Amino acid sequence: MKKRVKLASVFLLTLSVAVGCSNNRNPQKESSTGNVDHPLTPEIARTALIQMMDNPGPNVSRRDLLGDALPALKTSPVEKYAEKFIQIGPCVIDLKTATFAIRVEFPNADRHKSNHWNGEFRRSKEGVWTAEVTKEAIAL
């Protein structure tokens, strides 16, 4: 039963990343310095997401709920599935389009049972990858 729930969660997160965040961006070529020496890797994505947790930005209304993803994000192994998706704990990442989806669920809670955040990885002028939430969905 748990495996079926996990597979359903992975499918929904994959769909969320593919539909909610994906567009025709090619972030590997977006750096204004013009260098592509630092492509987005699973560990760079993990680091950017961990750093984002300290200051998630204006698109996150419930920092505490998003913060519940942090322990698993720090300790979970990288799991690759499909051709372009990886999962690290509750985070599904599309390395090609540099987008992510995070899902945190509390099935026994009275409120905020299902919580989703979509976002993008961006590379600064200095070539440093950062993560930013672009969309939040909190089920009351």
Contact of 116 with 103, CB cutoff 8 Å: yes
Q: What is the CA radius of gyration of the chain?
A: 15
Q: Where are the alpha helices (H) located in 1-136, listed in sequence order?
A: 2-16, 42-54, 63-67, 70-75
Q: What are 20-76's pLDDT values in tens digits?
A: 444 445 555 444 445 456 899 999 999 999 999 988 888 898 888 888 899 999 999
Residue 111: predicted pLDDT:
73
Question: Partners of 123 in the beta sheet?
Answer: 129
Q: pLDDT class for 1, splitting at 50, 70, 90?
A: very low
Residue 7 pLDDT greater than 60, yes or no: no
pTM above 0.85, yes or no: no
Contact of 114 with 21, CB cutoff 8 Å: no
DSSP 78-101: EEEETTTEEEETTEEEETTTTEEE
| Count of C-beta atoms within a 10 Å radius of residue 127 | 13
